[in-house]
Structure 1
C-alpha cells in the first residue's frame, strides 16, 4: 500500500507539473504572440514612414530644382568719381533703366551673359545736364539683386 500511495503522490506531482507548465506556456505564449503582432505592426509602420520619407526627399529635390532665383532689382553704385552727386544719381538711374529688361530673368541666365554685360557696358556714354559722362563697369554681382559697381568720368562739356 505504501507503494500505491507513493505512486499516487508521484502521479499527482507529475500532473501538477504538467498542468503548471501548460499554464505557464499558455500565458507566456499569449504574451509572445502579442509581442510578435506589435513587432510586425511596428515593422509595417517603419516601412510606411521610410517610404514617406523617401517621397518627401524626392519632392524636396524637385521643389529645389523648380525653385527659380530671379533678378528682382538692379542696383548701381558709382565709384571713384569727381562728378556732382546729382550726375552720379542720374548715371545710376540711366543704367538701371537700360538694364531693366534683366529684371525677372533667372540668375543663371544673367550669369551666362555676364561677359556680354561687361562688353555692353564697357564704355557707355550718357549726356547728363550738358556733360558727356563715360561709364565703365568695374564689378558685377549677380544674385537676387544685380549689383553693378561702375566708375563715371566727365569727358567734355557740351555747348
Structure 2
C-alpha cells in the first residue's frame, strides 16, 4: 500500500499544482486584460487630445491671421532744428487733429495710401500765433504700426514772405 499511497500523494500534488497554476493564470489573466483595456482607452484618449490640440493650433493660426492691427495713436516728432516749444506744441496739435481720422483704421489700409499721406502733408502750413506767423511743416519720414509716427521739420515764415 505504500506504493499506492505514494502514488496518491503524487497525484494530489500534481492535481494541486494544476489547480493552483490555473488559479494563478486566471488572476493574472484578469489583471492583464484590465491593463490591456486601460492601455487601449489611454491610447484612444491620447489620440483624441492630439486631434483637439491640432484643431486648437489651426484655429489659433486663423485667428492670428484675422486679427486686425489698427492705428491706435498718432505721434508727431519734430526734428532739428526745433522751433520754440510753444510753436512745436501747436504744430503737433494741428497735425494730430488733421490725422485723427486715421485712428482706428487698419494698418494695411494706411500703408496702402502712404504716398497720398506724404503728398497731403508734403508742405502743410499752420498759423501759430495772432501775428500771422506761419509754420511750414514738411514730412521727412512716416512709420506705420499700431502707432503712426510722423517725423517732421518745421520752418517759420512771416505772413506775406
Range class of TM-score, shorter chain: 0.7 to 0.9
Match of 1:154 among 153, 156, 161: 156
Helix, strand or coil at the partner of 2:83 = coil
Uncovered stretches (5+) of structure 2, i.e. residues with no partner: none
Contact 2:77–2:149 (Cα < 8 Å) also in 1: yes
Helix, strand or coil at the partner of 2:30 = helix
- Residue 27 in 1 paired to residue 27 in 2? yes
Supply the distance in 2 between the matched residues of 1:8 and 1:82 (Cα, whole angstroms). Answer: 118
Q: Report the number of matched residues.
A: 159
Contact 1:131–1:158 (Cα < 8 Å) also in 2: no
Supply the distance in 1 between the matched residues of 2:107 and 2:154 (Cα, whole angstroms). Answer: 26
Q: Where do 4+ consecutive residues of structure 1 move more than 6 Å? A: none
Counterpart mapping for 1:130-149 below 5 A = 130-149=132-151
When the two chains are superposed, the root-mean-square deviation of aligned CA atoms in Å is 1.9
Supply the distance in 2 between the matched residues of 1:38 and 1:76 (Cα, whole angstroms). Answer: 66
Helix, strand or coil at the partner of 2:59 = helix
Uncovered stretches (5+) of structure 1, i.e. residues with no partner: none
